[in-house]
Every structure is written in structure tokens, then in C-alpha cells.
Amino acid sequence: MSSSSDPAPPPGKPPLPWRTRLLVSAVSILHSASLRDDGTVNRSLLSLFDRTVPPNPVPDPAGVSSSDHAVSDHLRVRLFLPSAADAGDGSQLPLPLVVYFHGGGFVFHSAASAHFDALCRRLAASIPAAVASVDYRLAPEHKHPAAYDDGEAALRWAMAGAGGALPTSSSSPVFLAGDSAGGNIAHHVAARLSNHISGLVLLQPFFGGESPTASELRLRGAPFGAPERLAWLWRAFLPPGATRGHEAADVPAAISRAGARVPFPATLVCVGGWDAHQDRQRAYARALRDAAGAEEVRLAEFPDAGHAFYVFEELADSKRVLAEVAEFVNRRAAEYRRNARSSHA
């Protein structure tokens, strides 16, 4: 599952249950249908298939409860709290805090979208961790850097105790995580506040560039890989007149230009073999290793996985990626706590 080299292109089609395959195709088609030629979005159409769910103050069967919080007049966060982690000797360890950014090309979905609510719930239970899912402003109504600004504000709010909803503790390590466009946001927020972050988890992060990569050409017909759709999303998000060479999109090139001047937290990058964006994700991991001086860069490969596979709980790879994330977060959290104890000794 984990690899440091680029795997060969997979043959045939990704192994998906037929119901999942139909759902992925339908969502991809409806996403594209909601994008208008004038650069606006048909949000009424989006609402027909983007099912939302309310928070649950009463713990679910996995012991996770959730609540919605206003950070500002335009920014909300859904907070997921699991049962307390047991240290094994009867004492309680402070839970790691994971600030999460949902995917959707900077344009679609919210923290209340059913798939992302379920994903954050699974993360909270499996790590276990407190998960703060950020309802950042969407493009094209709110272009770059609105999502990054919202991400930074939400991170600062969560680290300060989430308005009293979280205990503040110097022994609580903080992680940033996100999928697809949310992974892009997590990277840029981490770059702003790297000294406060114990680790970064990116699930198939969405990066771009002026020239298509081999995987983008090979998988242009895959769900969420159509070149016209990708071009539309970047125009919707980037500043007016910017190209995909902008540092918000071509992150690997921006890291390489910055070089060793940019310290970065330990990073886990999860890559799917059927994801059109995989070449840029591997390039990002290489750029961090070669230029940015990150403490650790771990690349987890899922050769049979398409884009957004992690939201489909029925897939074996969706369960495996949660195990990868839990192992990474808990290992880095334990190291953080050891360092905290040493500094106070």
C-alpha cells in the first residue's frame, strides 16, 4: 500500500461495487452540470444531490457527538468529539485535535454534507481525536485567499479552545487535514502557522499547473478528471487573471522555489492509482523531501483507488486509509507529548 516510487498505470477499470460506481459517475456528472459558462454555480441544482445532516449532541453508536459553532459572522465549524482516549492505565490522555477541510474543488459541499460529516465522524472515532470540520467560504463567490483566511481563523479558534467547547492543553497536539481541495487549503494554512502544527494529513490533495501531467492525460475520462472541469474550478478559485502557475495551484513548484527556507511539519500524503491528480501529489511529496525540510514525508499509495475513495465506507481502501491516518496521527502525537514532557523536566 505504501510506496516511494510511482506505480505503473493500472489496467482496466478501478474495482468498485456497481452501486458505488454509479454514485461516483452521477456525482461527477451533476457537479459538471452545475457549473455555468458565465463562471457562476447553479447551487439549487447542487442542493438536490448534496444531502446535508444536522449535528448530533447525543453520541452515535461509535461514541461520537457533534455540534456546530460560529467562529465569525461568515465562518462556522462542526466539532466532533469521541469518547475520551484511555491511556491503558486508567489515566486519560488529551485528545489530538484535527482541523479538517472538506473537498469539493473549492466550490462544492460543506461541513454538513452527509459524506463529509460521516468521514469526520469516522476519523474522530478511529484515531481517536477531536475533529473540527471547517465550513469555509466557497468559490466563485469567494475567491482566493478567502478559504485560506477562513482556515487560519478556524485553526486559531480551535487552538484557543473552540469557544470553551474544547479543553485547552499544552499536551494536546494539533493536526491539519483535508481531502482534495481541502488538502490544498490544509497545506496553505500549515504554511502560515507551521510552528503550531504537529502534522499534516492530505488525502489526494488538489494541485494544478499550466501543463497537464501524464496522469491527467491518461485519466482525463475518469470521474473528477475532465480537463474542462478542472480549468473551470481553478478559474473560479484563483484571483482574476491568475494562471494555474499561481502558487496556490502549483504548490510543488512554489515549494521548490522557496527551498530550505520553508520549514514544514511532518506530512502524510495519500495517493490513489485511479486519481487524475496523482502525479502532482507525488511531486508535492518529492518537493517537500527535497526542498522544504519537512520533518517527515510519508507517501501512502492506494493503487486501486479513485478520487474521493475515502468517503465510501464500504470500500476496503477507505478503511485502510483511516488506519494509515490514525497510525500517523497517534505516532506524531506520542512524539509531541514526549517532547513536551522533556521540555518541562
Enzyme catalytic residues: 180
Cell numbers found for residue 225:
478528471
> Which among 266, 271, 290, 280 is positioned nearest to 339, based on CA atoms?
266
What does each C-alpha distance from 335 to 191, 326, 341 come to in angstroms? 21, 14, 10
Q: How far is CA 20 from the centre of its chain?
A: 21
Give the C-alpha separation, 299 to 285, whole Å.
7
Q: Give 260's contacts (C-beta < 8 A, 6+ positions apart).
A: 291, 292, 293
Strand partners, 302: 272
Provide the 8-state DSSP code for 41: B
Strands across the sheet containing 97-101? 65-70, 76-81, 130-135, 97-101, 174-179, 199-203, 267-274, 297-306
Give the C-alpha separation, 271 to 300, whole Å.
6
Read off the amino acid at residue 84: A
Q: Give 11's contacts (C-beta < 8 A, 6+ positions apart).
A: none
- Please say whether the beta carbons of 225 and 273 come within 8 A: no
Q: Give 65's contacts (C-beta < 8 A, 6+ positions apart).
A: 55, 56, 57, 58, 59, 80, 81
Read off the amino acid at residue 314: E
